[in-house]
Amino acid sequence: MSLSSHPKAYGTAAVAVAFVVGVCVTLGFKDFYPELERRYQQSKRRTARKSSRRLSLATEADTARRRSSFFWGPVELEDHDDKADATPPHLLPPTAGPVVGIEGCIGNTPLVEIKSLSDATGRTIMAKAEFLNGAGNSPKDRVALSMIQAGEAAGLLVPGRGDTIYEGTVGSTGISLAALARAKGYKAHICMPDDQAKEKSDLLHHLGATVERVRVAPITSPDHFVNLARRRAKEHTADRRVESNGFFADQFESGANWLAHFNTTGPEIYYQTGGEISAFVAGAGTGGTISGVTKYLKEEAKLDDLKIVLADPQGSGLYNKVKYGVMYSATEKEGTRRRQQVDTIVEGIGINRITNNFNAGRDYITDAVKVSDEQACKMARWLVEHDGIFVGSSSSVNCVAAVAAAMKLPEGSRVVTVLCDSGTRHLSKFWKKVGESGLEEQEDTDDLFGFLGLSPAGK
């Protein structure tokens, strides 16, 4: 009987032939297999390394944000020598999934190039958009969270016990503390000078905080807003009628302030610039921002050639301290100024004492720019007119100083500064002054240096 006349026998033979052919092919290629496997594994590892590098920034930032902690230490630097594999920050994938709580919206703010300033100076001027932090809309969100976590770690704050956070502030720190206090199960009691913009205290009230607006007094007075907040916290803790605690956040002296920027803002700026930054420019109120960012960029990122420039409003003594080693000029002595704190319309930066936070990074600050109220008002108007950026007084001071600092650097240099908060918090004072000065009715100009009264030579 032939195979063709018996289907079952034909099928069996076909399987046998296929098996034999398969064995022969396998034996024939056995010498080539190790090489093919080696090449496959190399390709797989290269792909994995590229993916890891591209996602490292977003993943690390997201992990830190999900932990909601500023005390996991600074971000570790990675090897970025392979420029071809580097992915621009704006092309990084979004963080996966939702964040937890309002504190999850703090950090990872954009770094924005201010095009009109770059075009005018021939240097790239960028600003960290800290007004986009999601709790209190300022860099103080980072600080407030850090100080609260420090209090919790020390057992001074316990959620749900009725504890109250006390702070003396001109506004932004109090707003951030008030927002986070509610979210984390605490109350907030804010002491602030009565010459600050009214919308700040109104906002604090709406956030559920107790607000004490007090007369302006020197820091040596027990009624200075910071000293009053400290006293209120002690009185709360000493009150045996309540089991809750009073926690004085102490933003001017607490190391949790500059550490917040050392652990978050500094690393973000480093990664967003790829480490290519010529100067960092910032004002100082508590000093936490300029010290924390500077210490990270200098000590961890090892940017030895980076210039650190202080932006200081009129009436503040820090400019003279940096430039000449003395705190006061003849016009800044007690009794010669209209205000006890700093004789300027600018809020949030400028001070006439050295805080622990400023001292932390003081040795790295090599230059300073004094900015007048008039220049601050003009810069605020310029940014609206040319870039659609609406910010407050401290941001305007930072931008004026960034322009001045940039002109002392070679063309093509990259300068980073900070946009602290929105102009909506400065309507009744700073922006009122802008309007009263007639700047909003003036014809637009493209001469930045003439408009600000700055020398193009940077002098």
Report the DSSP beta bridge partners of residue 417: 127
Structure tokens at 127: 């600003």
Distance CA 347, CA 255 (A): 22
Q: Residue 252: exposed, middle, or buried by beta-carbon count in 10 A (0-12, 13-18, 19+)?
A: buried
Whether pLDDT at 284 is above 60: yes
Neighbours of 37 (CB within 10 A): 10
DSSP state of 443: P
Share of the chain above pLDDT 70, in %: 75
What secondary structure does DSSP assign to 119-188, as a single string? HHHTSEEEEEEGGG-SSSSSTHHHHHHHHHHHHHHTTS--TTTT-EEEEE-SSHHHHHHHHHHHHHT-EE
Half-sphere exposure of 27 (CA within 13 A, CB side): 6
Residues 179-197 have a mean pLDDT of: 94
Q: What per-residue confidence (pLDDT) applies to 16?
A: 59
Whether pLDDT at 407 is above 50: yes
Residues 40-64 have a mean pLDDT of: 43
Check if the beta carbon of residue 332 is closer than 8 Å to that of residue 315.
yes
Neighbours of 367 (CB within 10 A): 17
More confident residue, 404 or 328: 404
SS3 content of the chain, % helix, strand, coil (to 5): 50, 10, 40
Distance CA 307, CA 304 (A): 9
Q: What per-residue confidence (pLDDT) applies to 338?
A: 46
Residues 170-189 have a mean pLDDT of: 95
Buried b (16+ CB within 10 A) or exposed e, 375-403: bbbbbbbbbbebbebbbbbbbbbbbbbbb
Structure tokens at 365: 């600050």
Phi/psi at 414 (5° precision): -120, 120
Distance CA 443, CA 159 (A): 55
- What does the mean pLDDT of the chain come to? 84
pLDDT digits (tens, 9 = 90+) for 352-362: 999 999 999 99
User: What are the angstrom distances between the C-alpha of 399 and each of 36, 272, 376, 396, 429?
Assistant: 58, 19, 8, 5, 19
More confident residue, 177 or 91: 177
Whether pLDDT at 280 is above 50: yes
The topology (CATH level 3) of 261-452 is Rossmann fold (3.40.50)
pLDDT digits (tens, 9 = 90+) for 146-159: 999 999 999 999 99
Q: pLDDT confidence of 65, banded at 50, 70, 90?
A: very low
295 flagged as catalytic: no
Name which of 67, 124, 105, 101 is nearest 272 in CA terms.
124
List the catalytic residue out of 8, 128, 140, 200: 140
Residues 275-290 have a mean pLDDT of: 97
Tell me the three state secondary structure of residue 348: coil
Q: Residue 139: exposed, middle, or buried by beta-carbon count in 10 A (0-12, 13-18, 19+)?
A: buried
Residues 217-234 have a mean pLDDT of: 94
Neighbours of 259 (CB within 10 A): 26
Determine the length of the chain: 459
Report the DSSP beta bridge partners of residue 98: none
Instruction: Give the position of tokens 């932390």.
Output: 360
Q: pLDDT confidence of 198, banded at 50, 70, 90?
A: confident
Q: Which of 47-56, 91-100, 332-341, 387-396 has the highest mean pLDDT?
A: 387-396
Structure tokens at 135: 């709790």
Whether pLDDT at 185 is above 60: yes
pLDDT digits (tens, 9 = 90+) for 90-139: 444 455 578 899 999 999 999 999 999 999 999 999 999 999 999 999 99
CATH of domain 139-248: 3.40.50.1100
Instruction: Give the position of tokens 């916290």.
Output: 233
Residues 157-178 have a mean pLDDT of: 95
State the span(s) of the chain assigned CATH 3.40.50.1100.
139-248, 261-452
Q: What per-residue confidence (pLDDT) applies to 262?
A: 97
> In one letter, which amino acid is 191?
C
Whether pLDDT at 458 is above 90: no
Q: pLDDT confidence of 74, banded at 50, 70, 90?
A: very low
Tell me the three state secondary structure of residue 428: coil
Whether pLDDT at 193 is above 60: yes
Mean pLDDT is lowest, of 32-36, 104-108, 164-168, 347-351, for 32-36
Structure tokens at 399: 């931008």
Q: What per-residue confidence (pLDDT) applies to 97?
A: 77
Sequence-ordered alpha helix ranges (H) in 388-456: 393-406, 430-436, 448-452
Q: pLDDT confidence of 15, banded at 50, 70, 90?
A: low
Residue 61 CB contacts under 8 Å (≥ 6 apart), including other chains = 95, 107, 108, 268
Report the DSSP beta bridge partners of residue 310: 282, 368
Q: What per-residue confidence (pLDDT) applies to 77?
A: 45
pLDDT digits (tens, 9 = 90+) for 364-395: 999 999 999 999 999 999 999 999 999 999 99
Distance of CA 41 to the CA centre of its chain: 41
Q: What per-residue confidence (pLDDT) applies to 244?
A: 96
More confident residue, 338 or 318: 318
Structure tokens at 249: 């956040």
| Vertex 26: Cα angle to 24 and 30 (nearest 5) | 120
Whether pLDDT at 337 is above 70: no
